[in-house]
């Protein structure tokens, strides 16, 4: 990293016959149901001119998979044809809104979230999607990682009950929905605890008991293994009967789900397992060789694997549930002089809620009485509690540490900051990463290829080489077990969910897996100066008394002069005077001298505060000013101009020196005496320099500061924080051009700003990161990623998390693919028994990829910033899955 910065020149929607849009995540296992590009039509009434249409079109084009865009300004509609394996209708709506235009929805449209805990893999989601395809819904979003199905429908032609019937008709139980009062749609922890005592688990354990009894008769109590029955001429012994009972108990759910898969034309794990188990039983009856043990083992182990998969998925779901659980269900409200406890969704904006020490704040609001330290870590990620006094903003889910607070509610329960965070984290799953799109494309070919291989293994050796039918049928059935790519397909979304929820708990809101992936791959970061590298607030940095005045004398005069000014510099001076308890002076005849400063009478004497040029006009010799103290400026090298040894040359020494540090200089005095100098600046954030260093340690090649501020200030700030390059005096459109140049040069650039003034640059960057977004709707909506607090140290954490998430995704993809491939290749040689295919290829890999993904929750912002640079801090970003 260079010591001095380089100065640069300035510079899923499905179109039904009824014409409504339909969004879904394409299930790669639906190889029997090939889909074409999807079409969505959006109502954008504010898009009423060619310029508006151009902005909308350019914004939407940034998404991958866009085939055609047709904006109609005369009707205010936007028609988009897109590949739903690469993007979604929700992502398109988001890009339109990022361009600054609202997307209208039909007043009769309603959205309901259904809780479907058994939907824990892409295969399950595919069956539900097929069922929803058969009814008149507008859009849907299946989320295996949360167990939720979000459906938007036209209430004038469809009801929530009909949607419920469709989902349950696909073979999945709904445990709750947002349309039904009193049902807990988010109680994931309760569902996770009940996995091992669920009806399926009980059936599995009973089935396992019968398998164990069958083995006992088969190998230990052989003399008791009597012939009990015959069926179509085949003898059935006691062990066979026990194995068949085990198949009937454990296989009930398997065959039921397989039936629904066949009904919905889904070549998924349930259908494949049904064929494998049924095929083993039929082969045993046809060839007269007992394959009942293999079939019973397959049914039992697959049921166990399904329970393990459910448990593993619930671990991932629980990370999001922890966010949901932050907000209390009830609030203590002051009504008619009494305190009453009511559900939070019954509290209205403007009501007063009472929060006692140790309680969670139930709703967003402003403190109207009391003082306390509030732990905002659940929302902003700040590790230190923040002092709150009347007028300060507080967030739902934060914890009142020690004092009594009364809070005036500013947002209802469904519209507070925490609710929006949870909603955005859930919605983020709809934005598929590039690697997830690769997995979807690959898995669409994987399943039919392995099934075909299994058929060949079962038929060719017996027919061509005279091999044993029973042996090779078992091999073929084993390959059917390996044909489902569940672990492979779930490897990416479970990593994305783990990364996004981990970030949210640390005060970083990532609004899509695509943004998580992109952030880990950028090589350049652009930062705004004001409010990002600096605090965004002017503060007094230097006070230099002159002519035997004291610092308090200078502040007292400056405070009086600035007390009637509305300039930010005046506010900074007044704040410093208040901090030092400097007394007031009697102010009269105030006058603002445009472009120069201010004038007023203080205790009857005319005083001035302003630029050096103002005092030159008043006749002062600024090259020869006496100082009462060196003020940290005068040194032994200062030229002595008169007999006194403490003399300042303001024009050639002091003022240029302060300005070179990026400070604004204010002189204070009367018509006859210069009383002092005050320097004001937007101070650099204390962690800015360390943050820049850490980003370089982690592998960022170029960090550039973009600012509209003057060249002198930009140079000073850039040198202080250690960026590689800076560009000053930029207009908003010039910032956009700078981002485009960086993107062309480095192939990916992140822009960090405040989310409001930098909106165009944030939208142009590969990833837009807004700081201090908590409580700021604009920042939350504009940015791809939001740092909820004004904490620059979260930036290295964000980059490290994103990079590690990409690494975990790669590990999960290739390890699950390698395991499946090696097992499949070993089957024809008799090296892989059916139990290994189930436990290793299915349950084992699903559990492994989920556990690997959960490692992302261990990354800590505090530990990362303090860690010494190591070899691993210079990561090899690897290659993207473009095909």
Same domain, 661 and 754: no
Same domain, 519 and 407: no
Same domain, 596 and 717: no
What was the pLDDT predicted at 773?
62
Q: What CATH number is given to the structural domain containing 162?
A: 3.30.70.100
Please state the domain count of the chain. 4
Tell me the two tokens of residue 412: 């209802």
What was the pLDDT predicted at 8?
46
Q: What CATH number is given to the structural domain containing 602?
A: 3.40.1110.10
What was the pLDDT predicted at 862?
66
| Between 825 and 199, the higher pLDDT residue | 825
| C-alpha span between 391 and 773 (Å, rounded) | 19
The pLDDT tens digits for 220-238 are 887 777 777 777 767 788 8
Same domain, 508 and 588: no
| C-alpha span between 18 and 38 (Å, rounded) | 14
Same domain, 42 and 143: yes
Same domain, 390 and 518: no
Could you tell me if 302 and 211 are in contact, meaning their C-beta atoms sit under 8 angstroms apart? Answer: no
Residue 642 pLDDT class (50, 70, 90 cuts)? very low
Residue 776 pLDDT class (50, 70, 90 cuts)? low
| C-alpha span between 442 and 445 (Å, rounded) | 6
- Please say which residue of 173, 192, 211 terminates a domain: 192
Confirm whether 775 is domain-assigned: yes
Q: Where does residue 403 rank: exposed (0-12), middle (13-18), buried (19+ CB within 10 A)?
A: middle
Share of the chain above pLDDT 90, in %: 13
Q: At what angle do helices 513-521 and 794-826 cross, to 10 degrees?
A: 100
| Between 17 and 387, the higher pLDDT residue | 387
Same domain, 643 and 781: no
- Please say which residue of 798, 830, 852 terminates a domain: 798
Q: What CATH number is given to the structural domain containing 786?
A: 3.40.50.1000
Same domain, 94 and 134: yes
Confirm whether 849 is domain-assigned: no
Confirm whether 483 is domain-assigned: no
Least confident of 86-90, 250-254, 765-769: 86-90
Q: Where does residue 643 rank: exposed (0-12), middle (13-18), buried (19+ CB within 10 A)?
A: exposed
Could you tell me if 114 and 162 are in contact, meaning their C-beta atoms sit under 8 angstroms apart? Answer: no
Q: Is the dihedral of CA 483, 489, 495, 497 positive or negative?
A: negative
What was the pLDDT predicted at 696?
93
Residues with catalytic roles: 528
The pLDDT tens digits for 412-471 are 887 877 777 777 776 665 566 777 777 777 877 888 888 888 889 989 998 988 888 888
Q: What is the mean pLDDT of residues 621-636?
A: 55
Q: pTM value?
A: 0.68
Least confident of 162-176, 221-235, 472-486: 221-235
Q: What is the mean pLDDT of residues 495-512?
A: 84
Among all chains, which residue has been given the structure tokens 């952030």?
519
Q: What CATH number is given to the structural domain containing 405?
A: 2.70.150.10
Residue 872 pLDDT class (50, 70, 90 cuts)? very low
Confirm whether 106 is domain-assigned: yes
DSSP 856-867: GGG--HHHHHHS
Confirm whether 834 is domain-assigned: no
Mean pLDDT, the chain, rounded, equals 79
What was the pLDDT predicted at 206?
93
- Please say which residue of 798, 827, 848 terminates a domain: 798
Confirm whether 229 is domain-assigned: no
DSSP secondary-structure letter at 463? I
Continuous segment of H or E residues that includes residue 77: strand 77-82
| C-alpha span between 119 and 605 (Å, rounded) | 80
Confirm whether 353 is domain-assigned: yes
Confirm whether 810 is domain-assigned: no
567 lies in which domain range? 535-683
The pLDDT tens digits for 61-85 are 888 888 888 887 666 788 888 887 7
Number of Cβ atoms within 10 Å of the Cβ of 708: 17
DSSP secondary-structure letter at 370? -
DSSP 673-738: -EEEEEEEEEEEPTTHHHHHHHHHHTT--EEEEE-SS-HHHHHHHHHHHT-SEEE-S--HHHHHHH
Same domain, 372 and 508: no
The pLDDT tens digits for 566-596 are 778 888 888 898 888 888 888 888 888 877 8
pLDDT exceeds cutoff 50 at 637: no
Same domain, 74 and 176: yes
Q: How far is CA 673 from CA 549, 665, 668, 779, in A?
A: 10, 17, 9, 48
| C-alpha span between 611 and 625 (Å, rounded) | 16
DSSP secondary-structure letter at 45? T
Same domain, 675 and 711: no
Same domain, 176 and 48: yes
Could you tell me if 676 and 553 are in contact, meaning their C-beta atoms sit under 8 angstroms apart? Answer: yes
Residue among 436, 479, 443, 448 at smallest CA distance from 32: 448
Tell me the two tokens of residue 760: 């165009």
């Amino acid at each position: 990293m260079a010591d001095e910065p380089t100065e640069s020149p300035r510079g899923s929607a499905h179109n039904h016959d009824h014409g409504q849009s339909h969004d879904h995540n394409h299930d790669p296992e639906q190889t029997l149901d090939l889909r074409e590009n999807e079409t969505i039509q959006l109502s954008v009434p504010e898009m009423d001119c060619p310029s508006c249409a151009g902005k909308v079109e350019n914004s939407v084009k940034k998404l991958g998979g866009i085939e055609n865009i047709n904006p109609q300004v005369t009707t205010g509609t936007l028609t988009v044809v897109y590949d739903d394996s690469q993007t979604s209708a929700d992502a398109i709506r988001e890009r339109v809104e990022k361009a600054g235009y609202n997307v209208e929805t039909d007043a009769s449209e309603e959205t309901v979230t259904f809780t479907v805990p058994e939907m824990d893999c892409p295969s399950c989601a595919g069956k539900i999607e097929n069922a929803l395809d058969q009814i008149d819904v507008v859009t849907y979003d299946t989320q295996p990682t949360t167990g939720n199905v979000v459906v938007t429908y036209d209430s004038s032609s469809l009801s929530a009950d009909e949607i419920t019937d469709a989902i349950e008709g696909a073979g999945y139980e709904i445990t709750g929905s947002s349309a039904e009062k009193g049902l807990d749609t988010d109680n994931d922890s309760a569902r996770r605890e009940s996995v091992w005592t669920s009806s399926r688990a009980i059936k599995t354990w009973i089935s396992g008991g019968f398998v164990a009894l069958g083995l006992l008769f088969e190998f230990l109590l052989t003399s008791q293994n009597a012939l009990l029955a015959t069926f179509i001429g085949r003898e059935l012994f006691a062990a066979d009967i026990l194995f068949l009972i085990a198949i009937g108990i454990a296989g009930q759910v398997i065959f039921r789900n397989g039936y629904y898969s066949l009904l919905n034309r889904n070549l998924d794990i349930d259908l494949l397992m049904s064929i494998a188990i049924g095929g083993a039983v039929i082969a045993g009856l046809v060839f007269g060789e007992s394959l009942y043990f293999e079939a019973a083992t397959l049914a039992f182990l697959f049921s166990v694997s399904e329970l393990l998969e459910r448990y593993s998925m619930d671990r991932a779901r629980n990370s999001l549930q922890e966010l949901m659980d932050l907000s209390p269900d009830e609030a203590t409200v002051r009504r008619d002089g009494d305190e009453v406890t009511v559900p939070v969704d019954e509290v209205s904006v403007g009501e007063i809620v009472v929060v006692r020490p140790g309680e969670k704040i139930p709703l967003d609001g402003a403190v109207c009485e009391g003082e306390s330290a509030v732990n905002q870590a659940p929302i902003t990620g700040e590790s230190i509690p923040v002092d709150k006094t009347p007028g300060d903003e507080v967030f739902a889910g934060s914890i009142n540490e020690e004092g009594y607070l009364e809070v005036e509610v500013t947002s209802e329960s469904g519209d507070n900051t925490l609710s929006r965070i949870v909603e955005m984290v859930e919605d983020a799953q709809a934005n598929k990463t590039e690697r997830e799109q690769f997995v979807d494309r690959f898995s669409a070919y994987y399943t039919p290829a392995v099934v075909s291989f299994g058929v060949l293994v079962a038929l060719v050796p017996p027919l061509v080489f005279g091999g044993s039918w029973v042996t090779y049928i078992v091999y073929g059935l084993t390959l059917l077990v390996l044909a489902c790519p569940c672990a492979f397909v779930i490897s990416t979304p479970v990593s994305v969910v783990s990364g996004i929820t981990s970030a949210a708990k640390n005060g970083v809101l990532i609004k899509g897996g695509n943004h998580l992936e992109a952030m880990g791959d950028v090589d350049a970061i652009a930062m705004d100066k004001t409010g990002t590298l600096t605090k965004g607030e002017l503060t007094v940095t230097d006070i230099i008394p002159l002519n035997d005045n004291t610092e308090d004398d200078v502040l007292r005069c400056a405070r009086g002069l600035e007390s009637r000014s509305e300039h930010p510099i005046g506010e900074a001076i007044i704040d410093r005077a208040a901090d030092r308890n400097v007394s007031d002076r009697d102010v009269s005849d105030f006058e603002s001298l445009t472009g120069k400063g201010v004038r007023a009478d203080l205790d009857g004497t005319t005083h001035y505060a302003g630029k050096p040029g103002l005092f030159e006009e008043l006749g002062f010799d600024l090259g020869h000013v006496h100082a009462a103290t060196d003020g940290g400026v005068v040194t032994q090298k200062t030229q002595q101009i008169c007999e006194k040894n403490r003399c300042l040359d303001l024009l050639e020494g002091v003022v240029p020196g302060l300005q070179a540090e990026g400070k604004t200089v204010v002189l204070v005095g009367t018509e006859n005496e210069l009383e002092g100098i005050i320097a004001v600046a937007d101070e650099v954030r204390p962690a800015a320099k360390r943050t820049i260093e850490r980003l370089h340690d982690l592998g960022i090649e170029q960090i550039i500061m973009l600012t509209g501020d003057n060249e002198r200030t930009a140079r000073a700030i850039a040198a202080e924080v250690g960026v590689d390059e800076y560009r000053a005096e930029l207009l908003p459109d010039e910032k956009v051009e700078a981002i485009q140049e960086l993107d062309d040069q480095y192939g990916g650039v992140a822009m960090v700003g405040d989310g409001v003034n930098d909106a165009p640059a944030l939208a142009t960057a590969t990833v837009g990161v807004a700081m201090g977004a908590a409580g700021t709707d604009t920042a939350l909506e504009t940015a791809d990623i939001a740092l909820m607090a004004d904490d620059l140290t979260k930036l290295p954490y964000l980059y490290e998390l994103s990079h590690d998430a990409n690494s975990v995704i790669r590990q999960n993809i290739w390890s699950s693919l390698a395991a499946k491939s090696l097992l499949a290749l070993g089957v024809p040689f008799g090296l892989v028994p059916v139990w290994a295919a189930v436990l290793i290829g299915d349950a084992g890999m699903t559990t492994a990829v989920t556990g690997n993904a959960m490692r992302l929750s261990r990354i800590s912002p505090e530990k990362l910033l303090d860690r010494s640079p190591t070899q691993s801090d210079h990561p090899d970003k690897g290659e993207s899955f473009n095909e």
